Amino acid sequence: MSGGSGVLVEHPEMAHLALIVAVLLLIASTVTAAAFTLYYSYPVSFLIFAILGALLGWFYNAPPLRLAYRGLGEISTVIAVGFVMPGMGYFVASGTIDLWFTNLMLPLFCYGLFFIVTVEMPDIESDRMAGRENLLVDHGLESGTKVALFATVLATALLITIAYLGVFGSTIDLWPLVLFSLIPLTIAAYGAVRDLQQRENVLSQVKLNFAGLISFVLVFIGIAYAAP
Residue-level pLDDT at 60: 92
Residue closest to 190 by CA, chosen among 179, 201, 205, 178: 205
Domain around 201:
4-226
The single-letter code of the amino acid at 71 is G
User: Would you give per-residue pLDDT tens digits along the chain (228 residues)?
Assistant: 554 455 655 666 677 787 898 899 999 999 999 999 999 999 999 999 999 999 998 999 888 999 999 999 999 999 999 999 989 988 888 888 887 788 889 999 999 999 999 999 999 998 998 899 999 999 999 999 999 999 999 999 999 999 999 887 777 788 999 999 999 999 999 999 999 999 999 999 999 999 999 999 888 877 766 665
Residue-level pLDDT at 166: 86
User: How many separate domains does the chain show?
Assistant: 1
The single-letter code of the amino acid at 170 is S
How many whole angstroms separate alpha carbon 94 and alpha carbon 38?
16
